[in-house]
Amino acid sequence: MELNRLDKYKKKFKEFSANINSLQQYLSGQKRNYAGSSHAISAHDVSEFLNIRELDALFLLSLAEKERLVNRVYKVFTEDDTFLGEFTDNTAIPKKLHNDSTGETVDRDHVIVDLVFELGT
Amino acid sequence: MPIRYNIEGTNKTPAEIRHEAYARGDELSPETRKEYFKSINRLFTMEDQKSKFTRIWAPIIGILMLVACVWIAFIRPNPSQFQSGVFWLFLSFGMALSAVLISGYFEFKYENIIKAGGGFAIWAVMFFYVPKIMTIKQFEPSHLVLDIVSTDTAHIESIPVEFDSNSGEDICSFTAKELGKYWGKSIGPREFVNYRLPDGMIFENIACSDVKVDTVMLVDTSMAEHFANKRMAFLHFLEKFHH
């Protein structure tokens, strides 16, 4: 994983220069701890580690995604936290999802989506 | 109700997230703000973000390729095995490009080696799973034998000729032309009666592409007229030379 691909953004987005530095350290640590296995990073974890807002963490992770350091995954849950499926693109989430535990169909309007980022290889 | 995302422990709609992003953007420099909005939008918008090529040109090109395949199937009804392979590849690309029009997500896995999604998955399925109809050995005559009954009816002269099984040319004109080449003289298409072997059907106004046999028997028309009818002439010569 070539974390130095993020270096160019330090000059481009000066407000986030220090945060990008920290993100590189965070991703490097995650990569070391979860080498060889797929591990998902949430914007919440990044925001806590970097002590920034979750939206800012999402912005930084989207830069990392642009550089193919992480991949977006939309994890879909019911309102009572039952996992329904995961998608690499939110436009691919179908209008009706099947809940395997109840056998019922859940309308897309009644799901909660967790956006996480999987470490690229 | 739109999809809600779990952000900062609360479930927010994309509009709410965008609203927060705009508020945060006011604190950023103009260049960063622009990229910030763009990134947040990209993550949460449900609108189709496919490029103009993917949305418009890919299905148009795909449909044109499918139409071309149908057209080629009519003008080349007897493709060789190689041509069939090329058509299949062409067809699979056409299907993949047209897949943009089909909603939903399609994923394909092949023996834990290839994993594909969307249009590429359609192409991969077509490429790796060729239907049985494509592998059936088809009759592909590239040569035709002309069995010509000699004018003294004593023997048959067999002439092998190159044959284009996709040609739309009338078979009688074709055989007359080929005979003309061998005998060095001009022969009209009505000078010989063309019989299909082995059943003796008379070829009249039949295109080469519809000749599904490899041998045609030719009997001089004036000779055939000595019999009660053309069918009798065929049966006579069939018994004499092919039994």
| pLDDT tens readout for residues A17-75 | 999 999 999 999 988 888 777 788 999 999 999 999 999 999 999 999 988 889 899 99
- For residues B219 and B2, the model is more confident at B219
A-chain residues within 8 Å CB-CB of B105?
87, 89, 92, 94
ipTM of the prediction = 0.89
pTM of the model: 0.51
Torsion of CA B131, B137, B139, B140, to 10 degrees: 90
A52 Cβ contact partners less than 8 Å away, ≥ 6 residues apart = A19, A46, A60
Give yes or no: residues A60 and A88 share one domain: no
A64 Cβ contact partners less than 8 Å away, ≥ 6 residues apart = A6, A23, A27, A70, A117
Give yes or no: residues A87 and A54 share one domain: no
Average pLDDT score over residue span B151-157: 86
Give the span between the Cα atoms of B220 and B149, in whole angstroms.
7
Give yes or no: residues A97 and A46 share one domain: no
Q: Is the alpha carbon torsion for B53, B3, B118, B41 positive or negative?
A: positive
The three-class DSSP label of residue B231 is helix
Residue span of the structural domain in which B67 resides:
52-135
Looking at chain B, which residue has its C-alpha nearest residue A110? B3
Average pLDDT score over residue span B124-128: 75
Q: What is the pLDDT of residue A91?
A: 81
A-chain residues within 8 Å CB-CB of B7?
43, 54-55, 58
| Structural element, H or E, at residue B220 | strand B215-220
| Structural element, H or E, at residue B166 | none
Looking at the structure of chain B, the number of domains it has is: 3
Residue span of the structural domain in which A111 resides:
72-119
Which residue, among A44, A59, A88, A109, would best test binding to B if mutated, counting the most B CBs under 10 Å from its CB?
A59
Q: How far is B137 from chain A (nearest CA, A)?
A: 41
Instruction: Answer yes or no: are the C-beta atoms of B120 and B96 closer than 8 Å.
Output: yes
Give the A-side interface with B, CB within 8 Å: 12-16, 43-44, 53-56, 58-59, 62-63, 72, 87-94, 108-115
Residue A9 CB neighbours (<10 A)? 21
| pLDDT tens readout for residues B72-106 | 888 877 777 788 888 888 888 888 888 777 655 56
Statement: residue B238 has pLDDT above 80:
yes
Give yes or no: residues A61 and A99 share one domain: no
